[in-house]
Amino acid sequence: MQIKRMTKLTHKRIGYARVSTDDQNLDLQRDALTKAGCQVIYEETASGKSSQRIELEHCRKALRSGDTLVVWRLDRLGRSLSDLVKIIGDLEQGGVTFESLGEKIDTGSASGKLQFHVFAALAEFERNLIRERTNAGLSAARARGRVGGRPAKLSEKQIREIKALMADPQCQVSDLAKRYGVSRTTLYKRVGGGAAGQDMRRCAKNEPLRLT
């Protein structure tokens, strides 16, 4: 008679610890995560604003359904509220629970899930608020005759002046660029069409040879 042995799957508690600079110490987070039962701890030195967090990516790849990601505090994981909500949401979709020791949040419990949904609602509110303020600012600018985007480096008056100056056979593009505080590329882009473009190409031919 053949006896089948059932292998019991053990769910892991994996920790993630982060400090912003080399001067800061990971000992406090490491001790707290070890005490919380984390078998593996991924440690990283990276600014919270940085999108490049290699150890966090390694940590997330190591997580499997049924595992728990544990952090010391919420600000160790997310760069912002919306970023935090996205990461926890991705974990939830993969069957991974999340626990923050400092805030006593555990998405494996009913109260923890409720807290997460409150955070998600706050993140959505924050996004809508930013969107509304941006739209209101653009509307106010348009009402005053301004449009969005970067201001033009050359005004229409300056463009007319440059076209007039380029009619001089002795003009040089580099002198014009220096005078108006723009690059040669900007001059070609803004003034380089039609007859003005022909004048500009003639001016360019007047440029002295530069040895490097």
Q: Provide the annotated active-site residues.
A: 20
Residues in contact with 201: Cβ distance below 8 Å, sequence separation at least 6, in sequence order: none
* Nearest CA-CA partner of 161 in 185, 139, 138, 190: 190
Type of residue at 92: E
Give me the sign of the Cα torsion angle 107, 110, 112, 113: positive
What one-character-per-residue DSSP string does 51-99 give? S--HHHHHHHHH--TT-EEEESSGGGT-SSHHHHHHHHHHHHHTT-EEE
